[in-house]
Amino acid sequence: MINKGLSWIGIGFLYLLSLCPFWFLYLISDFLFVIIYYIVGYRRKVVQENLRNSFPEKSEQERHILEHKYYHYLTDLMVETIKMVTVSKKSILKRVTSPNPEVMDNYFAQGRSLMMALGHYGNWEMANMRLSIYTDNPLLVVYKPLTNKTFDDFFLKMRSRFGAQLVAMKNVMRTMVKYKDECIISAFVADQTPVKNEATYFTNFLNQPTAFFLGIEKLAKLMGPVVIFCDVERVKRGYYSFNFIPLVENPAETAPHEITEAYVRQLEIMIRREPQYWLWSHRRWKFKPEDTN
């Protein structure tokens, strides 16, 4: 009961904070950066190891600059996510644009559903909100439920504000079958780390063997949507551009792992372009292929 009460206090604080304008939230971000980076040192060893292994060609100084940029963006991402609790549709339309939204329209006109593959790059929460506004077609956003039920409900409400339907990973297939006669978008942030006993496929990613889920590939082959990569560019603070890149039009005709490889290669291109916007503080490389045997 005490924990639930503390959760509600935390949620109330986040709600009030979300009412602040972006410029004020970025002042908070600048302050948080000093706390998290210099005082707390949040996961700095994890970030440094990830950057060192991913970019061995860069000098120590270059990686240090990249680390510094990453943490400054991480705190921006924190306050931007809080802002999503009350952000207006008008603000999302202004801050998130795309040079080629017709890609989705053209496939919908052909009666095709879309599988949108994203990464933990840029503000993926804002990306999903913008997808909700792009079209009236159903949008299914696949997510991993939080262990804290109060906060899980809070974030579900936030993410579905503009019409998205949040679907837990275990219910994805059942929900997609439900919409099999409609043109839908299913959105997956697909660069998460599988648990060790589910890590069946490794590929070279950022200079090291990396485990990837095969969920997108399996679902695409079963359901037949066009697989599209959502390439992100951070234009400036609080502003993003999303380029829709078709990866696979006919999933059933692909070779094993072809869809997964297409996603991984495009993800790597995006990360290498501006690495500071990927989630480097995540323990992405928890184990190696030999650890799963």
Edge to edge, what strands does the sheet with 165-168 contain? 96-97, 239-248, 226-236, 114-118, 185-189, 139-143, 165-168
Exposure on the CB side of residue 152, measured as CA atoms within 13 A: 10
Amino acid letter for position 75:
T
Please give the chain's pLDDT, 293 residues, in tens: 546 666 777 788 888 999 999 999 999 999 999 999 999 999 999 999 999 999 999 999 999 999 999 999 999 999 999 999 999 999 999 999 999 999 999 999 999 999 999 999 999 888 888 888 888 889 999 888 777 787 778 878 888 888 888 898 888 889 998 988 899 999 999 898 888 888 889 999 999 999 999 989 999 999 999 999 999 999 999 999 999 999 999 999 999 999 999 999 999 999 999 999 999 999 999 888 887 76
Q: Do residues 169 and 142 make contact, with C-beta atoms less than 8 angstroms apart? A: yes
> What's the CA gap between 279 and 55, in Å, rounded?
15
Distance between alpha carbon 37 and the CA centroid of its chain, in Å?
23
User: Tokens 């079209």, residue?
Assistant: 135
Q: Is the overall model pTM greater than 0.75, yes or no?
A: yes
Q: How many domains does the chain have?
A: 1
Q: Do residues 32 and 78 make contact, with C-beta atoms less than 8 angstroms apart? A: yes
Domain that holds residue 52: 2-292
- 264 exposure class (CB count in 10 Å sphere: 0-12, 13-18, 19+): buried
Q: Other CB atoms closer than 10 Å to residue 182's CB: what's the count? A: 10
| Cα dihedral 175, 181, 187, 192 sign | positive
Nearest Cα residue to 117 out of 210, 201, 220: 220
Planar angle of CA 125, 131, 133, nearest 5 degrees: 110
Q: Do residues 133 and 89 make contact, with C-beta atoms less than 8 angstroms apart? A: yes
The dihedrals phi and psi of 56, each to the nearest 5 degrees, come to -65, -20
pLDDT of residue 265: 98
Q: Which two tokens stand for residue 147?
A: 């262990």
Number of helices and strands in the chain (H, E): 11, 9
Relative to beta strand 185-189, strand 139-143 is parallel
User: How long is the chain?
Assistant: 293
